[in-house]
Structure 1
Amino acid sequence: MPSANYRSLLRTPGAAAFFLPASLGRVGVAMTGLGIVWLVRSHTGTFAAAGLVGAGCAVAEALGAPQLARLVDRFGQTRILPPALLAHALSVAVLVSLVAADASDAFLVLGGALVGATLPQLGAMSAARWAAMLRTTRAAELPTAFALESLSNAVGYLLGPTMVSALAAAGHPVAGTVSAATLSVTGGLILAAQRGSAPSPEDHGERAARKSRTLLCGGGIGVLMGLNLAIGVFFGAMQVSVTAFAVEHGEPDSAAVIFAVSNCSGLLAGWLYGLRRCRAAPPVQLLVATGALLLGTLLLPTAGSPFTLGAVVVLTGATIPPLLALFSVLTESTVHPTVLTQAFAWLGSAGAAGSAAAAAVSGRVIDSLGPHGGFTITTTAAAAMTVLSLAGLRVFGFSAQSRRP
């Protein structure tokens, strides 16, 4: 059967034991940001304060994730993850207490920042375990493994926001935030307990630290940072633009349907991508995928109704999981193994930064030019990704040959 590729991966000794708890924790991670918005909104009565605290969480996560990943690469997941999870649980408790005590906005932002800075990067750690497990004897299966990671991420961000919104709508916003932390901490602790699949940490000492910083520099990682920043811009602009489009056409509820269509097409495309062994080199696959995304974004302004927009996002949504899987494949083949978790974390931070910036800019553009102005930003991001993919045809070939010790 076609799904045997995924089954064979999960039957690898130790694989399911780390992948499943990491997937569980990802649902909690996906709930965190929106959970904070609902929590603060329910007590302050204003989305302005809620958005401010949520932004503080996002910025702190973007800045803190690479630092936590650096410690993980240096000392190992099993040593760093438990205290990091304890710090995250305490940070959530502090934020909930501050909200209950009607603290000022400044203290709430500080609480949100503490939550974001300690948020466990379970996706990066799970991807690093796949790389350590497969790169030596089963490197050909890495694209399938990273496709599985992409699917797990997509499912997490499909379930997580839905769960936290349902709890908030039922009048339990605190339960949403607490549930998010519970899932993240539980999944992370189970992951940390799987010592056999954890990558070996790098050598200690200042020399090793300097070497790690050097290994993270180079053309390949620069291209990947640009790609992740651009796809973050795409996500941020797309969310605001689709919502504005639905409101403009008098069907605000259709935005949720359009996002669901996009997510489902992405899940299907990601699943199919992982089943097949493409003969083209990953940089060539990347160029094809970014070209397809660009084509889809060029069609967005032609949509005249929510129905036709939904038909277009089938194409744009289908490109995302394969792209995310390719980012991981190229990162693994470009970056030195001892700094792989850091690389994944930095790329995630670039995507988060792009999304946050695009969400803010898109709102202003849409106010002036309407939803089609927002779609222009998505097209620009896709065009930038295509240009970077063209550069990657040369850069990744060289980097992949020079990354090993």
Structure 2
Amino acid sequence: MSNPYKEIFRVPGAKGFSAAGFFARLPIAMAPIGIVAMLSQTRGEYWIAGAVSATFALTNALASPQISRLVDRFGQAAVITPTTIISIMAFIALIVGANQDWPAWALFASAFLAAAMPSIPAMLRARWTEIFRDRPELNTAFAFESAADELVYIAGASLSVGLAVALFPEAGMLVSTIFLALGTAAFALQRSTEPKVRPVESGVSQRSAIRSRPVQIITLALVFVGSTFATAEVSTVAITKELGQSNAASLVIGVYAIGSFVVGLILGALNPRMQLHRQLLIAVSVLAVTSLPLLIADTVPLLALAVFVSGVAISPTFITAFGLIERRVPESMLTEGITWVMTGIGIGMALGAFLAGWVVDNFGAQNGFFVSVAAGIATVVTIALGQRILAGGKVEAAMGPLPQPAE
């Protein structure tokens, strides 16, 4: 049997934009934790480190869909080049400010401007969609991107913290900024695979993609899914610390990502024929059920096993969610639609970390996983109630019924 991943990379230019995109998106994982590692060492205060990092993350979550909307209207290279330059200069200012003890307001301002960093994962998926639109290979490409996202989050965060600790406080952020500059430049220069700018479809208004009902449903669902990530991390750290084995936290979190990584690659190779909205309902149902063993994992080996099992449905959820966005959102809004869904994941991670931390502080480490269980149930309810809309036609389901001509 042929290797489906080998097949998608036979397309001219695919290896080039994929490699460039991998490095260009490393800052997504490196920057938030890199800011914390840098400022906590140079300032000696975790509150300002966390606040500056949160400023960057939340501003980027709100700005990315707007940047992607411009990409849909004017093209990738035309938009990501100036926005990336702004982000790079702001990151440099933040690094210098940390090193030279600039006032707090300057750090917050730099983090705010650095949030102009575009959503490279959305651009990558838009390029794959341009190549394999309405073909089964697109599912394989989305599976590869989901696996690559997992790898970025595993490697990026570890690399950023490791450099800051092993070399000097600013090292992680400096390398992250270099990856952003070189990776995005290489990505933007590959014009042969850049999606064409498409005019707005007849009968579809120029309003934001977030007004699309499928985008709203999937984004809300992935807010809940994102909260399970942060809950797993916060609760794992708390439980391993309580058990006197704090060093095991990174291993357990790594196992969580490995489960998702492996199952995502397998699903991409199989290309199931079931309708995507039903695949998504199954995936989130598995996600909810597999969160239950976390509640009774009271040793590190049991925790690692439970976390591995709970991660198996994450990549399938992402693959089918992005596949539905490709089918249910007008082509002229594709990049923005994908970015809104990714923004939902980021918002969910922020909310999940807060809620899990509050539960751990007030009810104990083991009870933090109740947030995962509640989020899993909420995800299933959201997708189940949205089945009819997610199963609808592309433009009609996305933007509402088209106006009918007068009799």
Q: Which residue of 2 aligns with 1:141?
A: 137
Over 3 Å counting, the alpha-carbon distance change for 1:221 and 1:189 in structure 2 is same
Q: Which residue of 1 aligns with 2:95?
A: 96
Q: Which residue of 1 aligns with 2:405?
A: none
The question of 1:160 aligning with 2:159 is answered: no
Secondary structure of the residue that 2:193 maps to in structure 1?
coil
Structure 1 residue corresponding to 2:185, chosen from 173, 183, 189: 189
Counterpart-to-counterpart distance in 2, 1:214 and 1:177: 33
Q: Which residue of 1 aligns with 2:38?
A: 39
RMSD (Å) for aligned C-alpha atoms: 1.9
User: Aligned ranges for residues 221-232 of structure 1 at < 5 Å?
Assistant: 221-232=215-226
Over 3 Å counting, the alpha-carbon distance change for 1:238 and 1:14 in structure 2 is same
The question of 1:169 aligning with 2:162 is answered: no
Q: Which residue of 1 aligns with 2:85?
A: 86
Q: Which residue of 2 aligns with 1:126?
A: 124
Following superposition, the deviation at residue 402 of structure 1 comes to 3.3
User: Aligned ranges for residues 3-402 of structure 1 at < 5 Å?
Assistant: 4-115=3-114, 117-136=115-134, 139-203=135-199, 211-213=205-207, 216-400=210-394, 402=396
Counterpart-to-counterpart distance in 2, 1:40 and 1:15: 38
Following superposition, the deviation at residue 11 of structure 1 comes to 0.9
Following superposition, the deviation at residue 218 of structure 1 comes to 3.0
**What do the CA deviations read for 1:300-345 (whole angstroms, capped 9, x no partner)?**
1111211101111111111111111111101101111111111111
Asked whether the equivalents of residues 42 and 169 of structure 2 are also in contact (C-alpha less than 8 Å), the reply is no
Counterpart-to-counterpart distance in 2, 1:211 and 1:194: 31
Over 3 Å counting, the alpha-carbon distance change for 1:361 and 1:403 in structure 2 is closer
Secondary structure of the residue that 2:271 maps to in structure 1?
coil
**What do the CA deviations read for 1:248-273 (whole angstroms, capped 9, x no partner)?**
11111111111111111221111111
Asked whether the equivalents of residues 214 and 328 of structure 2 are also in contact (C-alpha less than 8 Å), the reply is yes
Secondary structure of the residue that 1:252 maps to in structure 2?
coil
Asked whether the equivalents of residues 75 and 202 of structure 1 are also in contact (C-alpha less than 8 Å), the reply is no
Please state which structure has a larger fraction of its residues in helix. 1
Give the letter aligned to residue 164 of structure 1: S
TM norm structure 2: 0.93
TM norm structure 1: 0.94
Following superposition, the deviation at residue 149 of structure 1 comes to 0.6
Asked whether the equivalents of residues 270 and 321 of structure 1 are also in contact (C-alpha less than 8 Å), the reply is yes
Give the letter aligned to residue 129 of structure 1: R
Following superposition, the deviation at residue 226 of structure 1 comes to 0.9
* Matched residue count: 398
Counterpart-to-counterpart distance in 1, 2:117 and 2:366: 35
Following superposition, the deviation at residue 56 of structure 1 comes to 0.6
Counterpart-to-counterpart distance in 1, 2:140 and 2:305: 28
Asked whether the equivalents of residues 209 and 336 of structure 2 are also in contact (C-alpha less than 8 Å), the reply is no
**What do the CA deviations read for 1:6-34 (whole angstroms, capped 9, x no partner)?**
01101112222211111121223321111
Counterpart-to-counterpart distance in 1, 2:39 and 2:184: 25
Following superposition, the deviation at residue 216 of structure 1 comes to 4.3
Counterpart-to-counterpart distance in 1, 2:169 and 2:110: 16
Unmatched runs of 5 consecutive residues or more in structure 2: 403-407
Over 3 Å counting, the alpha-carbon distance change for 1:401 and 1:77 in structure 2 is closer
Counterpart-to-counterpart distance in 2, 1:101 and 1:277: 53
Asked whether the equivalents of residues 290 and 382 of structure 1 are also in contact (C-alpha less than 8 Å), the reply is yes
Counterpart-to-counterpart distance in 2, 1:56 and 1:182: 21
Counterpart-to-counterpart distance in 2, 1:403 and 1:296: 31
**What do the CA deviations read for 1:76-115 (whole angstroms, capped 9, x no partner)?**
0021111122111111111112222212223212211221
Secondary structure of the residue that 2:311 maps to in structure 1?
helix
Counterpart-to-counterpart distance in 1, 2:165 and 2:19: 29
Following superposition, the deviation at residue 203 of structure 1 comes to 4.0
Asked whether the equivalents of residues 281 and 383 of structure 2 are also in contact (C-alpha less than 8 Å), the reply is yes
Counterpart-to-counterpart distance in 2, 1:255 and 1:313: 11
Secondary structure of the residue that 2:136 maps to in structure 1?
helix
Give the letter aligned to residue 196 of structure 1: S
Counterpart-to-counterpart distance in 2, 1:304 and 1:357: 25
Asked whether the equivalents of residues 99 and 170 of structure 2 are also in contact (C-alpha less than 8 Å), the reply is no
Give the letter aligned to residue 242 of structure 1: T
Runs of 4+ in 1 over 6 A off after TM superposition: none
Counterpart-to-counterpart distance in 1, 2:325 and 2:12: 24
Identity %: 28
Following superposition, the deviation at residue 215 of structure 1 comes to 5.2
Asked whether the equivalents of residues 219 and 340 of structure 2 are also in contact (C-alpha less than 8 Å), the reply is yes
Give the letter aligned to residue 124 of structure 1: A
Following superposition, the deviation at residue 214 of structure 1 comes to 5.7
Give the letter aligned to residue 18 of structure 2: F
Secondary structure of the residue that 1:250 maps to in structure 2?
coil
Give the letter aligned to residue 390 of structure 2: F
Counterpart-to-counterpart distance in 2, 1:144 and 1:53: 37
